[in-house]
Structure 1
Amino acid sequence: MNRRPWLNTYPGDLSRRTTPGSESMLELFATTVSKFPDRTAIAYFDGAVSFRDLDQRSDALAIALTEGGFAAGDRLALYTQNNPAFVVGLLAAWKAGGIAVLINPMNKARELSHLLGDSGATALLSLDDLYVSVAREVLDGGQTEVRQVFVASARDDQKRDDERVIPVAEQPAVSGALRLTDVFARHSDRRPAPVSGKPEKAAVLTYTSGTTGVPKGAINTHGNLAFNTHTYREWMKLDQDDVVLGIAPLFHITGLVGHVCVSLVVGSKLVLAHRFNGRVVLDAIREHRPTFTVGAITAFNHLSGLPGATKDDFASLRAVYSGGAPIAPRLRDKIRARTGMDIHNCYGMTETTSPTHAVPLGVAAPVDPDTGALSIGVPVFNTSVRVIDDDGTDLPPGEAGELVVSGPQITPGYWNKPAETAEKLVDGELHTGDIGLMDEDGWFYLVGRKSDMIIASGYKVWPREVEDVLLGHPAVREAAVIGVPHEYRGQTVKAFVSLQPGRTTSPDALIVFCKDRLAAYKYPRVVEIVDELPRSPAGKILRRELR
């Protein structure tokens, strides 16, 4: 194992034309269309969208945008599920010289209003049901700059309805908005004026999950996206014959880069299914035989427990990665035993445009003997990582501190937030707020976030260690640990757990289970059994909601 993995550089074949990340996403997509115009770009239920279709549809929407007053640098907000319309809107925003604003389709009126206002979006592409139930109320309030509204149906591009996922019987009335299918018909065979494709131009505003406060719009440039798309291509050994299973939300940085951008650049087929539904995703796996995916560990855990699922169902998946939340070694092993999938860890943030670390394909990640943490891998190509203490001093291998990252995938900052940008980005390095360590062989391990650390009687307790112990109990499905105020200890440990279907246990039994396996200051004094733990779309436990 290379003891200095931060010196990983791209293999020589990538230097044949340009440095990775020096192109714009539009240039890369244009190359794919010229090579594979009739190949399937998106498989959506029983429908198929070719790369030529994507090119022509995004041309039509770009023309409609510009004719409606959309100018270079303007923002188009995308408020959809995992639908082909998302990809069309993304490309159209770029072709019109603008920026795509990625919005969680679970957001309600208050949240949508904040994101539209913060981004200054002048156009919105929404699913019709989201427009009727949420967006129209926000727009009618007159507090946004949105002047153009386009809507798509979740049933567009599919021939066979799947009522398990899309129960709406008819398209709702969408007064005040223009249907995307009408845009395609009106502007067919027209091409927008070309725009400059500089890699330093903002491509998307990707809002942070808000686990520590109000969401901020991270600026991800064309160069950021292109660089880490190449990272996926080379690290996971992807080419046009691969099939990408799109289980991560497309509005999230993992789905955006690891699903959409990979397909647009590599020329591989992307399988979408509107939103995550275990049975529907399993059907898609059986039909399309995907070879690569990246998603939250919760999604893989769910798929592994579906009645009737077998190892044969997952046999086509040769490269499987998980990010967004730490993986307990026990959980990785349980999923592998059920499905045969070797899940590789990766680590990144919205601000790093997806991965900064990943486990090499085909390599088993080690477990740190002191913390019990499964390694998040080694730094990916051209990426530098330091571990520092509170004074900013580099720490030696084995000592935990804040991970500080630099590389071509790092955001230039937050949208209209210079103070927050200056706090997180210092001398070109991103201060992640995550606590981790590097061992003597160059493997990195994530311990937790600074804000999650518990101080009990003066001792530091990292929630992940307690959670890993709880996950070892046969009745426990998921676990989350927080610190709560305590008159004597300052803080004490509280655990929230959900149980495996059909299994029972009690809070007292779980406390005893942990007490036998953890130091006295670490084991939870309080355990609460809940049906589900609150999680972000990336699978991160929302501890602030538990608090």
Structure 2
Amino acid sequence: MSNYPWSKFYPAEIQTHLDYPDYRVTDYLKMTAEQYPNNKAIHFFGKEMSFQELLSRSYQVANGLKDIGVKKGDRVALMLPNIPQFVYSYFGILFAGGIVVQTNPLYVERELEYHFSNSGAKVIICLDLVYPRVKAVKEQAGLEHIITTSIPDALPTVKKLLYPLVQKIKKGPTVDIDYSKEPIQTLHEFIDKAKDTPVEDPSTTEDVAVLQYTGGTTGTPKGVMLTHKNLVANVTQCQAWAYQTEKGKEVVLSVVPLFHVYGMTICMLFAAAHAAKMVLIPKFDIDLMMKTIKTQRPTFFPGAPTLYQGIINHPKASQTDLSSIEICISGSAPLPLNTQTKFEELTAGKLVEGYGLSESSPVICGNPIWGKNVNGSIGVPWPNTDCKVVDPEGEEVKPGELGEIIAKGPQIMKGYWNQPAETAATLKDGWLYTGDMGYMDENGYFYVVDRKKDLIIAGGYNIYPRDVEEVLYEHPVVKEAIVLGVPDEYRGETVKAYIVKKEGFTISEEALDQYCRSKLAAYKVPRIYEFRDELPKSMVGKILRRKLKEEEDEKLA
């Protein structure tokens, strides 16, 4: 490893080769609860839970799941925002030997049906607000058990009582479920009936712990199989990278969704391994984040550029004490220099850019937190991680030359769930072909310049144009459609749709937007629509996305 050009930029405190513990993910929670039983594991709107309580609650979930027949290797879907129930349900599923199927609460019915059918999940733990959508696909998707929970269940008593009134004033989402008439049970009841006796996780380190869905190299979502070994490796690498942090003393601000691979590993699993308190924020709300930073004094804040930009642009940014923040690792989208500079001035902490994918648990590269930081670069490979840039034949290119970034390391996925052809196309001789185009400089720092996939990353969310295009093509007025990502100051990129209407038909932008909102998760809905008489095509009739991209680039220039 020391022969690689980036080795000399590793701080002396970080080894290029680490020893990895032979742990399962659940071992982190067990050991931390033994060593730091009374340390706070979770803070949620004033209510706190210790590591010992978190472990007991996880055991109850595990025993309850076993009581309804969940066995080793069974898939259990988890469809929750950042609330305490997510954390103990996640660990409970793993203690029972199950595989966590990460599910975005924003998914609409057609997305959910595919998700559950493909994973083979028979059980789901979900938020009560999403129950109508889950119920609508229950039969087709083969779900057998639905367990619901609510945000008020996790709140302190006074806030729990006030919650319905606050929602009414704010016109927030509410749900009215008659539990006596629905074939579901609440997580609260489920846990009350279950024993809290310790459960021995039957998994081995090589077993799959999580199915993390991603679009891979095509638009069809695939379940990335992340093993216990993969996740433990990435957490160990993160602990080594953040070597100045102190076990049992850190506070992690968890705004990044835990159902996203980044939030799962760098917030939740890092906190469990490092005995850190997780401060959970269930939605993207800058005002709430500012208040929380002021009162909870987080030290570690993983996020996306959108979050840091939101804080910089907040009217009270300069009057709020943000000095507790020591480390921020930015991922999911390129980090603008202006954002990095201003955020570091505000907090006096470190904000560095990293890079990863669902297929790599997720982190592959990062700029050293205390060391040579190169703006515009995704940094250097993490310990035990090898990266190179290759041409279409798979041959390594010289520094500075453009090609596809590929990576190898202990955090790289086992493969795609039930997708051998896709796995073979993405994993070759142990190398993960990322589909991202970039280059390595003479010092071994890597740069992403374009995406081989037509992936759009908006506000940290991955959006595959094909998903959106399929919905647009289903509309009776749409003759042709193509979608691409265009620069956006706030989201990094946003979705733009180019539409050709059928002759003799008309539709407004508002009507098309309403239609898309009924068929797609909100973050996938196009923010810009452009109606055209025709779209650029190749000689064989293929719509040329590249031409439209060039037009957008010219407009910017």
Whether these two folds match at TM > 0.5 is yes
Return the match for 2:443 from 441, 444, 451: 441
Superimposed CA distance per residue, residues 345-398 of structure 1 (whole angstroms, 9 cap, x where no aligned partner):
01000000011101111335224xxxxxx0111000100101101111111111
Superimposed CA distance per residue, residues 299-330 of structure 1 (whole angstroms, 9 cap, x where no aligned partner):
11112211212275321110011001112323
Q: Post-superposition shift, 1:184?
A: 2.4
Return the match for 1:220 from 205, 210, 226: 226
Q: Post-superposition shift, 1:61?
A: 1.4
Distance 1:173 1:11, change over 3 A: farther
Any idea what SS the aligned residue of 1:292 has? coil
8 A Cα contact 2:39 2:51, kept in partner: yes
Map of 1:237-248 to 2, 5 A cutoff? 237=243, 238=245, 239-248=247-256
Any idea what SS the aligned residue of 1:229 has? helix
Q: Post-superposition shift, 1:100?
A: 0.5
Instruction: Tell me which residue corresponds to 2:378.
Output: 376
Matched, 1:421 2:423: yes
Instruction: Tell me which residue corresponds to 2:402.
Output: 400
8 A Cα contact 2:306 2:491, kept in partner: no
Any idea what SS the aligned residue of 1:274 has? coil
Q: Post-superposition shift, 1:442?
A: 1.4
Find the aligned partners of 2:351 and 2:434 in 1 and give their Cα distance: 24
Return the match for 2:144 from 142, 147, 161: 147
Q: Which stretch of structure 1 is more off in the superposition, 395-404 or 163-172?
A: 163-172
Find the aligned partners of 2:176 and 2:546 in 1 and give their Cα distance: 52
Distance 1:273 1:171, change over 3 A: farther
Matched, 1:280 2:280: no
Find the aligned partners of 1:143 and 1:10 in 2 and give their Cα distance: 56
Q: Post-superposition shift, 1:450?
A: 1.5
Q: Post-superposition shift, 1:69?
A: 1.2
Return the match for 1:308 from 310, 316, 330: 316
Q: Post-superposition shift, 1:87?
A: 0.9
TM-score by length of 2: 0.78
Instruction: Tell me which residue corresponds to 1:191.
Output: 198
Find the aligned partners of 1:9 and 1:93 in 2 and give their Cα distance: 38
Question: Identity percentage over the alignment?
Answer: 31
Find the aligned partners of 1:9 and 1:120 in 2 and give their Cα distance: 45
Find the aligned partners of 2:377 and 2:356 in 1 and give their Cα distance: 13
Distance 1:487 1:89, change over 3 A: closer
Return the match for 1:201 from 207, 228, 236: 207
8 A Cα contact 1:6 1:379, kept in partner: no
Any idea what SS the aligned residue of 2:62 has? helix
TM-score by length of 1: 0.79
Find the aligned partners of 1:115 and 1:24 in 2 and give their Cα distance: 25
Find the aligned partners of 2:298 and 2:220 in 1 and give their Cα distance: 36
8 A Cα contact 1:245 1:270, kept in partner: yes
The number of residue pairs the alignment matches comes to: 475
Matched, 1:524 2:524: no
Distance 1:276 1:166, change over 3 A: farther
Instruction: Tell me which residue corresponds to 1:262.
Output: 270
Instruction: Tell me which residue corresponds to 1:498.
Output: none
8 A Cα contact 1:56 1:188, kept in partner: no
The amino acid across from 1:134 in the alignment is: R
Find the aligned partners of 1:309 and 1:415 in 2 and give their Cα distance: 44
Find the aligned partners of 1:435 and 1:64 in 2 and give their Cα distance: 46
Structure 2 unaligned blocks of 5 or more:
456-483, 499-534
Map of 1:133-172 to 2, 5 A cutoff? 133-139=132-138, 142-159=139-156, 160=159, 163=166, 167=172, 172=177
Matched, 1:80 2:80: yes
Instruction: Tell me which residue corresponds to 2:5.
Output: 4
Instruction: Tell me which residue corresponds to 1:533.
Output: none
Instruction: Tell me which residue corresponds to 2:110.
Output: 110
Structure 1 unaligned blocks of 5 or more:
368-373, 454-462, 496-520, 529-547
Q: Post-superposition shift, 1:212?
A: 4.5
8 A Cα contact 2:128 2:175, kept in partner: no
Q: Post-superposition shift, 1:173?
A: 3.2
Q: Post-superposition shift, 1:89?
A: 1.2
Q: Post-superposition shift, 1:195?
A: 3.1
8 A Cα contact 1:398 1:438, kept in partner: yes
Find the aligned partners of 1:29 and 1:143 in 2 and give their Cα distance: 36
